[in-house]
């Protein structure tokens, strides 16, 4: 399960999506999230599904990576769906047993939430899978650049966000190694109730925190040894440029947003 987390991973490639400007892809992701929350009918999710499948095919990312990214949130989806089914009230009562009531509106809301979460994870995963950490940092910094005038530390925020994304796979790999080492010493993480499983994970936290602090210290020392002093006066080997393919992507994304807004209003 831990190895299935794909957020923060980058898969090099030469596809159309890989070559898009990082700033454009970040804006596309934000617009895609807004589109998801604008949808009120199932027909809107059909449009989103077609667009998402096209994006995956064009990016040449294998579907197994998308599936691996969805596996860790299956339990979250089930819990969210159950809460919506049993707690949402409506006008059309479908089933009742004692004080437990299931309405048609609850089932519809549950399906909507599952679809929204699924496409949300796929959209964000595509961003990190097709954008290198350096490009992601530069893109976030450029987009936050105008806010420097009001005192927002654009470079520092971009660096922190990118380092956090970059170290998610590393920490997951470290957690997997610690779990295997403790299993070899007789630890049990799979049997018992949910409460007992949660308690058995507590011994993982201490070595994981120690490893995280050690890595952070090593990273800080490495950056200081290379005379890193922040974004002021910093040059870049690759300069972000908006090209014709970015304008094509803008047209496609704008078309999707217009369709979603039209279907809602």
**Residue with the larger pLDDT of the pair 209 and 25:** 25
Mean pLDDT to the nearest integer, 50-69? 88
pLDDT at 73 over 60: yes
* pLDDT value at residue 233: 66
The bridge status of strand 93-97 relative to strand 100-103 is antiparallel
* pLDDT value at residue 3: 52
* CA 32, chain centre distance (Å): 12
**Residue with the larger pLDDT of the pair 61 and 235:** 61
* pLDDT value at residue 55: 92
Alpha-carbon span 159 to 138, nearest angstrom: 9
Element holding 102 (H helix, E strand): strand 100-103
**Residue with the larger pLDDT of the pair 76 and 27:** 27
Alpha-carbon span 123 to 138, nearest angstrom: 20
Mean pLDDT to the nearest integer, 218-236? 77
Q: Where are the domains of the chain?
A: 1-131+241-265, 155-234
Mean pLDDT to the nearest integer, 55-61? 91
* pLDDT value at residue 58: 92
Mean pLDDT to the nearest integer, 5-19? 80
State pLDDT tens for residues 167-187.
777 787 888 888 888 878 777
% the chain with pLDDT above 70? 91
pLDDT at 237 over 80: no
pLDDT at 208 over 90: no
State pLDDT tens for residues 104-160.
888 888 898 899 999 998 988 888 889 887 788 888 888 888 887 887 787 778 878
Helix 133-144 / helix 22-38 crossing angle, nearest 10 deg: 70
Q: Kindly give, in sequence order, each residue whose CB lies less than 8 Å from that of residue 141, ignoring residues fewer than 6 positions away.
A: 154, 155, 158, 159, 231
**Residue with the larger pLDDT of the pair 238 and 245:** 245
Alpha-carbon span 51 to 74, nearest angstrom: 22
* pLDDT value at residue 40: 85
pTM: 0.77
DSSP, collapsed to helix, strand or coil, labels residue 231 as coil
Element holding 70 (H helix, E strand): helix 63-70
Ordered DSSP codes for 171-208 = HHHHHHHHHHHHHHTT--SSSS-HHHHHHHTHHHHHHH
Q: Which of 21-35, 174-188, 224-238 has the lowest mean pLDDT?
A: 224-238
């Amino acid at each position: 399960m831990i190895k299935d987390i794909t957020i923060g991973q980058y898969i090099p490639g030469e596809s159309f999506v890989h070559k898009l400007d990082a700033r454009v892809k970040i804006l596309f992701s934000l617009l895609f999230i807004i589109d998801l929350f604008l949808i009120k009918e199932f027909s809107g999710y059909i449009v989103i599904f077609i667009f998402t499948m096209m994006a995956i095919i064009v990016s040449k990312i294998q579907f197994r990576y998308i599936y691996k990214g969805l596996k860790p949130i299956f339990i979250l989806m089930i819990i969210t769906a159950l809460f919506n089914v049993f707690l949402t009230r409506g006008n059309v009562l479908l089933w009742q047993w004692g004080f437990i009531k299931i309405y048609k509106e609850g089932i519809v809301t549950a399906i909507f939430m599952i679809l929204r979460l699924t496409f949300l994870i796929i959209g964000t995963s595509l961003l990190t899978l097709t954008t290198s950490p350096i490009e992601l940092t530069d893109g976030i910094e450029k987009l936050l650049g105008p806010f420097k005038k009001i005192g927002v530390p654009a470079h520092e925020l971009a660096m922190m966000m990118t380092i956090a994304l970059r170290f998610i796979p590393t920490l997951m790999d470290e957690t997997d190694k610690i779990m295997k080492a403790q299993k070899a010493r007789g630890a049990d993480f799979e049997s018992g109730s949910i409460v007992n499983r949660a308690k058995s994970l507590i011994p993982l936290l201490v070595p994981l925190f120690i490893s995280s602090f050690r890595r952070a210290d090593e990273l800080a020392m490495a950056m200081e040894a290379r005379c890193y002093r922040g974004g002021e006066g910093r040059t870049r080997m690759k300069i972000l440029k908006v090209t014709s393919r970015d304008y094509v992507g803008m047209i496609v994304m704008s078309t999707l947003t217009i369709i979603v807004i039209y279907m809602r209003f």
